[in-house]
A and B are shown apart, each in its own frame.
Chain A
Amino acid sequence: MNLEDIKKLAELARIEMTEEEMTEIAKSFGSILEYVGRVQEVNKMTEGGVKSKEDYFLHNIMREDTATNESGFYRDKILEEMPESENGYLKVKQIL
């Protein structure tokens, strides 16, 4: 893993980082990825027979799309937590 790869990841993760820190992260990724690479050994294991992806993938648990609380119940408290709000709306920088 080199500095350019880390720069791209930082861009994707939307975190501004110094070159110095990215260099250090690139270095630590070497030993971490080598360690987690052991997971490939699982392809030699057949405990309980080979399963399809559907058997072991995480799946979403769905519920009816209904209101779980009275409308506006948390409104004021949530507004209070916003770094910037105006007339009961969240205020953000212009997007378009």
Chain B
Amino acid sequence: MKIDLKNLTIEKAHDGLAKGEFTVRELVDTYLEVINEKNGEINAYLEIYNNIDEQVKIAQEMFKNETATILTGIPISVKDNILVEGQIASASSKILETHRAVYDSFVIEKLKKHGVVFLGRTNMDEFALGSSTQTSAFGITRNPLDRTRVPGGSSGGPAASVAGDMTLVALGTETCGSIRQPAAFCGLVGVKPTYGGVSRSGVIAMGSSLDQVGPLAKNVADAEILLNAISGYDPKDSTSIPDDKREIEKTFKKRIAIPREFLNGEGIDKEVLQNFEESCEKLRKAGYEVVDVSLEAIKLSLAVYYIIMPAEVSSNLARFDGIRYGNQVKGDNLLDVYKKSRANGFGKEARRRILLGTYILSHGYYDAYYNTALKARDIIRRELSNLFKDFDAFITPTVPFLPFKLGEKLDDPLSMYLCDIFSAPANLADIPSISIPSGIAQNGLPFSIQFTAPYLREDILFTIGKEFEKLV
């Protein structure tokens, strides 16, 4: 039978598989056909895994012996910085081009128990350092909705794989918007979970105090199912939240805040703002109180982020020296091997951020930048925690503008960094956030709205999100 991929959801796919309308093999083959046809141009996938037959067999077996879960046989794509044992995980960097994972990341281990089918690894900005997937060492990824435009980043490959019907759902990672922003640019739902909600074990680190793994999907329900499956305590991640600390009181106020000055602060597109106001009005009609609030510290979020992140990047990327794994370039002595391997292995943006972090952490500037940023991060956290005494969530557009053309912003790093302006508060404050499609612009490109909720309150995002989906 012909499977309608466009309208397929996890629940529908599961139903089809459970009722025997189609087999795991047929479902997977349908996606592989689309990949075959589209991936050459889109470049969402860097590689299709060589063990799909084996995975299909395991899933099919689980349906036969009635141990299948809702995720059994569901095709999932994996961002290239998430370790899958035996497979290459390169973080789309030349320095890790041939690096094979020696163990499974926590999220992969969890999903393997469900018998999902990992289709392959997807393209990303090198070491997740970018907002458009144009800094990958292995070519750009095109936006399936408009192939002359970027898919966003750094999870541009994961987003394009879902938007192009080359998988049902995807695993992405974000340090500041790298799930939510590409989801927005590709007309999808993306979730950045609470920091510590999903283990970072087996995920190639970028900014360790900010990084999280999360889902990209076509709707809120799919994102919720995938996030629930990868959440949980992991002793291998020292920042993972223990199970007993995940139980919290769940109140619901039906009140949403608009941080007004924050919205008006940076160059936000007129039509993006107009769509945002329309979304607010829809929420009001659905019974939510949606009001302007005045916040002070949140406006500093992006500046704080662009201090803390490069500091952590320069530390995390210090381990890539061509000695223990990855590509090595021969040299006259050990120092020379380091310098040449790193020169050959890192792309332009990675070098820029390593140098920026080195500068920020250097004696004489440490106090002015890094320490001040930590202080500001703390104030932002407290400002938002105060806000949540009266509100379920705050809303902004996900990105201040619509998907831009390939090649744009590449030569102007600061204008690229401004993509992340509305993403930063959630990562800095460790709180969950979701991006959801909020309509289509005149030129056919997707609008997106972003809801950010209190610590561990993903349930709010899913409740409001499912309601909002029906209003669009």
Contacts and interface: CB of A to CB of B under 8 A. Distances in A.
B328 A83 contact: yes
B356 A41 contact: no
A65 interface: no
Interface string A71-96: 00010011011111000001011110
A35 to B, nearest CB: 6
B138 to A, nearest CB: 19
Interface string B346-386: 10100110111011001000001101111111110011001
A81 B99 CA distance: 7
Interface stretch (B63-71, B107-115, B334-342): B334-342
Interface stretch (B9-17, B122-130, B318-326): B318-326
Given A28-B413, A92-B323, A47 B343 contact: no
Interface in A39-90: 39-43, 45, 47-48, 51, 53, 55-58, 60-61, 63, 68, 74, 77-78, 80-84, 90
B140 to A, nearest CB: 20
Interface in B308-328: 314, 318, 321-328
B1 interface: no
B297 interface: yes
Q: Which among B102, B334, B340 has the highest number of chain A CB atoms within 10 Å? A: B102
B148 to A, nearest CB: 26
Q: Which among A16, A31, A51 has the highest number of chain B CB atoms within 10 Å? A: A16
Contacts of A10: 355
A42 B334 contact: no
Contact of B236 (A68, A82, A90, A93): A68
Nearest to B102: A77
A15 B300 contact: no
Contacts of B342: 13-16
A61 B102 contact: no
Chain B interface size range: 35 or more
A93 B323 CA distance: 10
Contact of A42 (B297, B339, B386): B297
B25 interface: no
Q: Which among B297, B306, B375 has the highest number of chain A CB atoms within 10 Å? A: B375
Interface residues of A, number: 52
Q: Which among B103, B296, B378, B413 has the highest number of chain A CB atoms within 10 Å? A: B378
Contacts of A47: 296-297, 379, 382-383, 386
B314 A13 contact: yes
A13 B355 contact: yes
A18 to B, nearest CB: 9
A61 B296 contact: no
Interface in B58-111: 99-100, 102-103
B374 A36 contact: no
Contact of A84 (B328, B351, B414): B328
B413 A45 contact: no
Contacts, number: 151
Nearest to A5: B359
B23 to A, nearest CB: 33
Contacts of A74: 102-103
Contact of B326 (A14, A17, A83): A83
A82 B335 CA distance: 18
Contacts of A81: 99-100, 102, 324-326
Contacts of B359: 1, 5, 9, 29
Contacts of B379: 42, 45, 47-48
A46 to B, nearest CB: 8
A68 B378 CA distance: 33
B407 interface: no
B382 A48 contact: yes
A45 B380 CA distance: 10
B324 to A, nearest CB: 6
Nearest to A22: B355
Contact of A82 (B307, B324, B339, B413): B324
B355 A56 contact: no
Contact of B352 (A28, A57, A90): A28
Interface string B449-465: 00000000000000000
Contacts of A80: 100
B413 A32 contact: yes
Contacts of B346: 15
Interface of A: 1, 5-6, 9-10, 12-17, 21, 25, 28-29, 31-32, 35-43, 45, 47-48, 51, 53, 55-58, 60-61, 63, 68, 74, 77-78, 80-84, 90, 92-95
Kindly list the 3 A-B residue pairs having the minimum CB-CB distance in the complex, ordered from nearest: A56-B378, A83-B328, A16-B343
Given A40-B368, A40-B372, A47-B296, 4 more contacts: A14-B321, A14-B335, A61-B239, A80-B100
Interface of B: 99-100, 102-103, 209, 235-236, 238-239, 296-297, 300, 302-304, 306-307, 314, 318, 321-328, 331, 333-335, 337-340, 342-343, 346, 348, 351-352, 354-356, 358-359, 362, 368-369, 371-379, 382-383, 386, 413-414, 417
13 contacts: A5-B359, A12-B362, A13-B314, A16-B339, A17-B343, A32-B417, A35-B417, A43-B372, A61-B238, A74-B102, A77-B100, A83-B325, A90-B324
